[in-house]
Structure 1
Amino acid sequence: MPTFDVSSELDIQEVRNAVDQAAREITSRYDFKNTGTEVELGDGSITLRSSTEDRLAAARQVLEEKLVRRKVSLRGVSYGSVVEASGATVRQEAALAAGISADKARELNKFIKGLGFKGVSSQTQSGQIRVSGKKRDVLQEVITALKEADFGIPLEFGNFRD
């Protein structure tokens, strides 16, 4: 019986490269001079720091440009609120997507069942969804339907087996 997996992961190496490029650009640009603007990659999150909120928004734009250029989906990055930090600075955390949450998994399973394809079933397995069906062509149609729908998270399809 053919199967495939649906997961939601970001390529951490590409994220690291994008953060490094953004940090390099921020240190070299004139409009960021003496603002103390920084971009750091932490464990599962990106931290943006600056002296003012408008410089923070500009740093966020630079980071997003670098992520898009590296083909990292912006759906996998969720920004927190801007927080006042010590030394008259502001800080913002951006969480990186890792796996499919239980709510999103339920939504995806419901969507797959709602497609009405005969013999197609899906089940959640530790942050990913395994979809199985009787025919390969039907599973390819499920993949196409999932790509067209917007779930707010980046979806990756892998481990396709006959």
Structure 2
Amino acid sequence: MPSFDIVSKTDMAEVDNALNNIRREIETRYDFKGSNCKIELADPAITVHADDDLKLKQMHELLQTHLTRRKVDAGVLDYQTPEKSAGQSVRQTIIVRQGIDKELAKKLVKQIKGSKIKAQVAIQGEELRVTGKKRDDLQDVIAFCKGLKFELPLQYINFRD
């Protein structure tokens, strides 16, 4: 029986490369001269330290630009609320999401089953396994999922006949 998996994985090596490029750009940009702006990676999360809200927004733009250059979808970033540090400085934690959480998986299963495509969907941890009798049904599921608007980028892997 043909099957494939729906996953959401982020290449953390590419995220690290993007952060290294951002650090280099912060050192050379004129508007960041003399500021205490920095960006750090602690495996599932990114911590951004900025002097003020304007610099924080500039760091967000840098982050999205450099991730897009490295072929990482910026939709994997989950911005937490900024925290005030000493003086006017701001600190923000940005979580890099890996895998499909339970709520999103349930919504996805419900929508696939509601589409009347002849395929079975099973939640397996942080991924979904889709099986069907015909290959065309599975391709219809992929096309249907691509048409849905989710904030999390999805990948379709392990397509087996």
- 1:3-152 map, 5 Å: 3-86=3-86, 88-118=88-118, 120-152=119-151
Task: State the SS of the aligned residue for 2:146.
Answer: helix
TM-score calculated relative to the size of structure 2: 0.96
Shift of 1:87: 5.3
CA deviations 1:21-68 (Å, max 9, x no partner) are: 111101110100111010111120111101111011111111110011
Secondary structure of 1:34's aligned partner: coil
Task: Provide the rounded CA distance (Å) in 1 between the counterparts of 2:52 and 2:33.
Answer: 13
Q: Which amino acid aligns with 1:65?
A: T
- 1:59-90, CA deviations, whole angstroms, 9 ceiling, x for partnerless residues? 11111100111111111101111111235421
Q: Give the counterpart letter for 1:91 in structure 2.
A: R
CA distance in 2, matches of 1:160, 1:101: 22
Which stretch of structure 1 is more off in the superposition, 108-117 or 78-87?
A: 78-87
The residue type paired with residue 130 of structure 2 is V
Q: In structure 2, how many angstroms separate the alpha carbons of the residues matched to 1:114 and 1:67?
A: 34
Aligned counterpart, 1:161:
160
CA distance in 1, matches of 2:3, 2:52: 50
Write the letter of the residue equivalent to 1:31: D
C-alpha separation in 2, matches of 1:33 and 1:148:
44
The answer to whether the 8 Å contact 2:73/2:153 transfers is yes
Q: Percent identity?
A: 40
Unaligned runs of 5+ in 1: none
Indicate the RMSD between aligned Cα atoms, in angstroms: 1.0
**Partners of 2:111 and 2:150 in 1: how far apart?**
10
CA contact (8 A) 2:2 2:132 kept: yes
Runs of 4+ off more than 2 Å: none
5+ residue gaps, structure 2, are: none
Instruction: Report SS of the residue matched to 2:90.
Output: strand
Name the count of aligned residue pairs. Answer: 161
